[in-house]
Amino acid sequence: MSEKPRALVTGGAGFIGSHLCARLLAEGYRVVCMDNLRTGSLRNIARLKNDPDFEYVDHDVTTYIHLPGGLDEIYHLASPASPADFERIPIPILKVGAIGTYNALGLARARGARLMLASTSEVYGDPLVHPQPETYWGNVNPIGVRGVYDEAKRYAESITMAYHRHHGVDTRIVRIFNSYGPYMRLDDGRMIPNFITQALRGEPLTIYGDGSQTRSVQYVDDLIEGMIRLMRSDETRPVNIGNPVEYSVKEVAELILRLSGSGSELVYRPLPEDDPRQRCPDITRAREVLGWEPRVSAEEGLKATIEWFARETGGSVR
């Protein structure tokens, strides 16, 4: 009987990372979850800690990664990703995108492991092309507040492709669009956690801008399925994984109010610098190469997420 494959998930105690760790364990992997808990939480992986195939390593990937034993796959998710973090911890964001990705690629090269880089729709910046295909090079302000994350991920993609072309490292790049679900940080600062937390507390929902800007939001289970399919494919080009159904920010707020039964009002604040007016994936490549498309509706996914937030905060869904 062959030994179970072993995977490293950097940023594994984060929102997406914890879901990925759980899915890999269910798929029969031995999983090493690596995190420095800067934005991740041990609470996110508490449900996994008693699994004999799960191992947690407290480590900052911007320092050399020493991991004894065989290694088949690396999922490099480590990075703060919330707009609230861009001003709070800009240097660590740049370091994990550059040095952290360099260290993860070095480990993949040394062990002959396949590496997936978790990139982002933020590489498209405030796009001038809509929806955004992988061939679009983006419209990013490199010196803006958001630039620390956008450029960190753009650099991470560049070094990943350089290691693939120059060193023959087996790499994958997933460009993740707005995702949500249980185990998000309550203070994440992004649209859906903000709206849900405010709705459950009976506070006004804060909309930045006039609410007409659009977002495409996907439930985390759909994202994880896309990532698994990409890792198992032969596709080395970047692949968008996101939900192409667009909602205005105001529509998302109103849907959360309805699903939570909240009587909160909507309040409007100025739009932050470089906040994209539109963000929507072209998922033609994912459909054709991976046979993937999202399955969970916004209503179904938001309902499950609101119920989880209510349990975490002691709030109530009416």
CATH number of the domain residue 199 falls in: 3.90.25.10
CATH number of the domain residue 121 falls in: 3.40.50.720
203 and 64 in one domain?
no
Report the distance separating Cα 143 and Cα 178, nearest Å. Answer: 23
Nearest to 174 by CA among 94, 285, 301: 285
Nearest to 292 by CA among 227, 236, 200, 235: 227
Active-site residue flag, 155? no
Q: Catalytic pick from 29, 75, 124, 149?
A: 149
127 and 189 in one domain?
no
Is residue 287 in some structural domain?
A: no
124 and 141 in one domain?
yes
Is residue 113 in some structural domain?
A: yes
Which pLDDT does position 60 carry in this prediction? 98
Nearest to 230 by CA among 241, 221, 219, 215: 241
Which pLDDT does position 83 carry in this prediction? 87
Report the distance separating Cα 73 and Cα 309, nearest Å. Answer: 32
Domain that holds residue 66: 6-179+218-241
Report the distance separating Cα 171 and Cα 159, nearest Å. Answer: 11
Pull the structure tokens for residue 259.
């699903």
151 and 62 in one domain?
yes
266 and 143 in one domain?
no
Q: Which pTM does this prediction carry?
A: 0.94
Q: Checking DSSP bridges between strand 114-120 and strand 73-76, what pairing results, if any?
A: parallel
Contact 240, 36 (CB under 8 A): no
Report the distance separating Cα 284 and Cα 227, nearest Å. Answer: 15
83 and 24 in one domain?
yes
Model pLDDT for residues 32-79, shown as the tens digit of each residue? 999 999 999 999 999 999 999 999 999 999 999 999 999 999 999 999
14 and 139 in one domain?
yes
Q: Is 241 helix (H, G, I), strand (E, B) or coil?
A: strand
34 and 119 in one domain?
yes
Nearest to 271 by CA among 146, 85, 140, 130: 146
Average pLDDT over the chain, rounded to an integer: 94
Which pLDDT does position 1 carry in this prediction? 45
Is residue 211 in some structural domain?
A: yes
303 and 203 in one domain?
yes
Q: Which residues of the chain have pLDDT under 70?
A: 1-2, 274, 315-318
Residues near 66 by beta carbon (within 8 Å), at least 6 away in sequence: none
Burial grade of 14 (CB within 10 A; 0-12, 13-18, 19 or more)? buried
258 and 131 in one domain?
no
For the chain, the domain total comes to: 2
87 and 142 in one domain?
yes
Is residue 111 in some structural domain?
A: yes
Is residue 285 in some structural domain?
A: no
Is residue 288 in some structural domain?
A: no
* 3-state SS, one letter per residue, for 161-228: HHHHHHHCCCEEEEEECCEECCCCCCCCCCHHHHHHHHHHHCCCEEEECCCCCEECCEEHHHHHHHHH
Q: Is 75 helix (H, G, I), strand (E, B) or coil?
A: strand
270 and 204 in one domain?
yes
Is residue 163 in some structural domain?
A: yes
Instruction: List Cα–Cα distances, 59 to 53, 65, 73, 149, in angstroms.
Output: 19, 8, 18, 21
132 strand-pairing partners: 281
Is residue 148 in some structural domain?
A: yes
Nearest to 15 by CA among 155, 109, 118, 157: 118
Contact 8, 32 (CB under 8 A): yes
